[in-house]
Amino acid sequence: MLRLTKKLIFAIDAVVDIAYNAAETPVQSKEIAQRQGIPRRYLEQVLQNLVKAEILSGVRGPRGGYRLSRERRRISLGEITRIVDQMEGTTDPLEEPVGSELGQAVLHPLWMELQETAMKQLDEVSIEDLCTRARAAGVQCNASELFDFMI
């Protein structure tokens, strides 16, 4: 189910922040929280789920933090949306046959079609696309050099 929630916005903000501010050292959660205005305890939960989903990799230690697990161009908003949807664990009302015959015959298929179209569009937008938009908008980057991905 496609829903724009705070958790989804925080997850996208965090991944874009890490991609946009990537440097030789990992990006720390306190930096992300400060730049994006996300409560740190809430952010950590989102970041850990993104690590489990292999969007991010965590680096431990005093200079630890988070990095992308793969290139920016290989991470889509659709993928992040699906991960956050799984995190929230809510059921999609469209999966259960409820409502009137009219709703089942007309509205249900329409909403399914709209959701499918939206997810296809989100799958076409990469984190690289958002970083490019951020640069074009003049958003300040904290990295001295632009890094995309580190192994």
What is the pLDDT averaged over residues 70-85? 95
The residue that leads in pLDDT, 144 or 38, is: 38
Share of the chain above pLDDT 90, in %: 63
Residue 149 lies in a domain: no
Q: Cα separation of 46 and 129, whole Å?
A: 22
pLDDT value of position 151? 47
pLDDT tens digits, 110-133: 988 999 999 999 999 999 999 999
Domains of the chain: total: 1
Answer yes or no: are the C-beta atoms of 148 and 131 closer than 8 Å.
Answer: no
What is the distance between the alpha carbons of residues 102 and 82, in angstroms, rounded to a whole number?
29
Q: Can you give the pTM of this predicted structure?
A: 0.85
Q: Does a structural domain hold residue 41?
A: yes
Residue 127 contacts residue 12 (beta carbons within 8 Å): no
What is the rounded CA–CA span in Å between residue 106 and residue 112? Answer: 10
Rounded Cα distance between 57 and 18, Å, is 11
What gap in Å lies between CA 26 and CA 137, rounded to an integer?
24
Residues recorded for the chain: 151
82: pLDDT strictly greater than 70? yes
Confidence of residue 134 (pLDDT cuts 50, 70, 90): very high
What is the domain extent for residue 30? Answer: 6-91+126-136
73/66 Cα distance (integer angstroms) = 17
Helices (H), the chain: 6-20, 29-36, 40-52, 77-88, 101-102, 108-123, 127-136
* pLDDT of the residue at 68: 96
Domain of residue 48, CATH code: 1.10.10.10
pLDDT tens across 92-107, in order?
665 666 778 887 888 8
Q: Is residue 13 part of a domain?
A: yes
